[in-house]
Amino acid sequence: MAPFILSVRPEPDCDLDVAALARRGVPALAAPLLAPRLIGPDTRPDPAGYSGVVFTSRHAVTGLVAALGGAAENVGQGGWSRLPVFAVGRATARVARMAGFAAPQVGHGGG
């Protein structure tokens, strides 16, 4: 069997990786091992109880926005946009900005 790259990232990233590799002539197989899923909280979190937000992936951003009611305007109305935001990388910071979080501090990672 010829060597190939196995992408285990969640969807849709997994398929995007395989497609990008295929464009470069690299054989790859999509086999996502994880699927992000919001499991709580049952009530909206109150930003007054936090001194900042750390996003470890763009899925964390979309998860918090979902917990706030699923709309970006809830970020600003709820006071979350006033908290310092830290993101693991440029892609996560971009998603945080698009969701209404102000000026994330960006780590040196790729996510």
Query: For the segment 50-61, what is each residue's pLDDT rounded down to a tens digit?
Result: 999 999 988 899
What residue numbers bound the domain in which 74 lies?
47-109
Same domain, 78 and 56: yes
Chain-wide mean pLDDT for the chain? 85
Q: What is the value of pTM for the model shown?
A: 0.72
The three-state secondary structure class of 56 is coil
Let me know whether 21 and 57 are in one domain.
no
How far apart CA 44 and CA 111 sit, in angstroms, is 26
- Predicted pLDDT of residue 16: 93
- Please state which of the ranges 25-29, 30-34, 44-48 shows the lowest mean pLDDT: 44-48
Do 55 and 98 share a domain, yes or no? Answer: yes
24 and 71 fall within a common domain: no
Task: Please tell me the total count of domains within the chain.
Answer: 2
* 47 in Cβ contact with 100 (< 8 Å): no
Query: Which token pair is 29?
Result: 């197989």
Span 71-105, pLDDT tens digits:
667 777 778 888 999 999 999 999 999 998 888 89
Q: Are residues 9 and 51 in the same domain?
A: no
**Would you say residue 41 has pLDDT above 80?**
no
